[in-house]
Amino acid sequence: MRSLFSVTLLLVLVLTLTTEASKRAKNHKGGKHDKSRPASECSTTETQYGKCVPEHGDCGDGLRDATCKDRTDKIHCKIPCNWKKDISDCKYKFGPWGSCDATTNTKSRSGTLKRVLFNAECQTTVKVSKPCSPKGRKSQTKG
């Protein structure tokens, strides 16, 4: 009786493991870069990439053209919904934020080009700004 119970338990365990493995294989979408690479034999240096065009509004998920030889594919891309929209295909190393300019109520910082993505045309240095935080922040009190 114990051997029948052990065999049954073992079969249930094996069946559960194979079911989980097949679910993972079906849901597997590939590596990190599967969405961003065209399905072609071209390398990224041979491929010309277009601008990322958002599907709705002016930021968020979108599509870009990836052209190599005589083939053009649409690939997924994303435009950040903040001040980085204009430089999303260019990666910069930024310095600290400057002090608040009282006349414009903004602070700014500059960045130097670190890396270019999708063969984008990038400026070697950029200057970005954002509104200053309000001065009257409420401090948290322990109570």
* Alpha carbons 132 and 118: distance in angstroms, whole number: 33
How high is the pLDDT of residue 134? 76
Backbone angles phi, psi at 110, to 5 degrees: -115, 155
Q: Where along the chain do the CATH 2.20.60.10 domains lie? A: 30-81
- For 30-81, CATH gives 2.20.60.10
Name the nearest CA neighbour of 116 among 141, 79, 89, 93: 89
How high is the pLDDT of residue 113? 92
How high is the pLDDT of residue 111? 92
User: Would you write out the chain's pLDDT as a tens digit for each of its 143 residues?
Assistant: 777 777 777 767 666 766 665 655 555 444 444 444 445 577 777 888 888 888 887 778 889 888 888 888 898 888 777 655 567 778 889 999 999 998 989 999 999 999 887 777 888 999 888 888 876 555 555 55
For residue 19, give both structure tokens: 């079911």
How high is the pLDDT of residue 15? 67
